[in-house]
Structures are given as structure tokens and as C-alpha cells.
């Protein structure tokens, strides 16, 4: 008898709750977050397969902006105020020696100035593109270790290990593959950052900020 009463009471309560129904809260999107214009998208030239639980940067296409943001994510997760265990600074992890080549001598100012960091990155890219100009003409489109050599891959590797080590890798056809202290090789950057359009970057000899 007790079980029947319990079952009947439970059924009544369930029917009462169902009679109220379910409603969706009426949320409004703030005007500042509304999309009012069409946006232009750039798509990868090759199929991108995303692995579960893998942190990736926002995909910004194969332009210069897409390149620098992907490289920054690899270097510092895009953090302008980052400093690693070896003292490399900023969003793109520059060393003091490279900063001095660009005409920047105040590390504290550099670390706290995102605009300056972006200028230094472009200036360094221009410098590396000048140094590697003959190797770009010679090797782009060729394959080393099954990987097609591209200008963006070469410049990314130059950011990692310096243009001199990129020259060594290319001119030895992969036999001299420099590895940094964290175990990242020139060949990894050449492969990972291939296929970006860096025609926006003009080669320049000894550029300064």
C-alpha cells in the first residue's frame, strides 16, 4: 500500500512540473558584439585535420598576418609579455642580441611595448629575407627529406635558428639540421610554416627600427 501511495504522489508531482513547461531565457547580444558586415575568410591550401584536446591558434589564413600569428602561438602562445627560461622576450621570443641588431637596446621597454614588438618582428623578417634572398631563389619549390621548401618555411626557420643555420640546412640538403635547446629543429619549422604568402615582406639590408 505504501509503495502505491509513493508512486501515485510521484506521478502527480511529475505531471505538475510538466504542466509548467520549459522556457528559454531571452538573452540579447550586445550591440558591440553583433556582426553587421560580411567578413572575408582565407582558407588553407591543404586539408587541416584537427586533433582532439589540441590547443591551436585561430586560423587567419595564409597571409602575412596568418603567418606571424601562427609563429607567435608556437613561440609564446601569443603572449607579448612572455619571457622563457633562456631570457627570450615577448610574443615572438627575441634574444637580446637580435634586438640590438634591430636597434632596440632597452629590453624592459621592448617587453612592455606590443607595437614595438610587431615592428621588430617585421624588421627582422626583412633582414632575414635579404640574407636568404639567393637561397630563396635557389631552393623554393625543391624538396628536402620529402618536404617542399617554401619561402615562409625558410623565414620561420631563420626566426628559430638564424639565417646562417638555414643556409647550412639547405646547402647540405638536410644533412646539417640545427636543433635548439628545446629540441626544435630547422626542418620542423620549414615543414610546419610552409605555404604562407610573405610577398608583403620586403627584403632589406641591415634594417633598423
Whether 12 is covered by a domain: the verdict is no
pTM score: 0.71
131-143: per-residue pLDDT in tens? 999 999 999 999 9
Whether 157 is covered by a domain: the verdict is yes
- How many domains does the chain contain in total? 1
Range of the domain at 126: 64-192
CATH of the domain at 116: 1.10.530.10
Whether 152 is covered by a domain: the verdict is yes
- Provide DSSP, the chain: -HHHHHHHHHHHHHHHHHHH----------GGG---S-------SS---PPTT---PPP--SSHHHHHHHHHHHHHTT-TT-B-TT--BTTTTB-HHHHHHTT---HHHHHT-HHHHHHHHHHHHHHHHHHTHHHHHHHTT-EETTEE--HHHHHHHHHHH-HHHHHHHHHTTTSS--B-TTS-BHHHHHHHTTT---TTSPP-SS---
81-134: per-residue pLDDT in tens? 999 999 999 999 999 999 999 999 999 999 999 999 999 999 999 999 999 999
pLDDT at 199: 94
Whether 14 is covered by a domain: the verdict is no
Whether 197 is covered by a domain: the verdict is no
Amino acid at each position: 500500500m505504501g509503495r502505491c501511495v509513493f508512486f501515485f504522489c510521484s506521478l502527480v508531482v511529475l505531471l505538475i512540473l510538466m504542466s509548467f513547461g520549459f522556457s528559454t531565457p531571452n538573452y540579447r547580444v550586445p550591440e558591440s558584439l553583433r556582426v553587421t558586415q560580411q567578413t572575408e575568410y582565407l582558407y588553407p591550401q591543404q586539408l587541416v585535420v584537427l586533433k582532439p584536446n589540441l590547443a591551436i591558434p585561430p586560423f587567419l589564413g595564409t597571409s602575412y598576418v596568418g603567418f606571424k600569428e601562427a609563429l607567435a602561438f608556437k613561440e609564446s602562445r601569443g603572449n607579448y609579455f612572455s619571457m622563457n627560461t633562456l631570457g627570450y622576450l615577448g610574443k615572438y621570443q627575441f634574444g637580446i642580441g637580435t634586438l640590438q641588431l634591430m636597434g632596440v637596446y632597452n629590453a624592459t621597454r621592448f617587453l612592455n611595448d606590443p607595437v614595438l614588438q610587431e615592428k621588430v618582428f617585421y624588421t627582422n623578417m626583412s633582414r632575414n629575407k635579404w640574407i636568404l634572398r639567393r637561397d630563396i631563389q635557389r631552393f623554393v619549390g625543391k624538396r628536402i627529406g620529402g618536404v617542399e621548401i617554401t619561402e615562409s618555411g625558410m623565414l620561420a626557420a631563420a626566426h628559430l635558428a638564424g639565417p646562417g643555420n638555414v643556409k647550412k640546412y639547405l646547402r647540405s640538403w638536410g644533412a646539417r639540421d640545427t636543433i635548439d635547446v628545446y629540441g626544435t629543429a630547422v626542418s620542423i619549422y620549414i615543414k610546419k610554416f610552409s605555404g604562407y604568402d610573405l610577398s608583403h615582406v620586403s627584403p632589406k639590408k641591415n634594417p633598423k627600427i
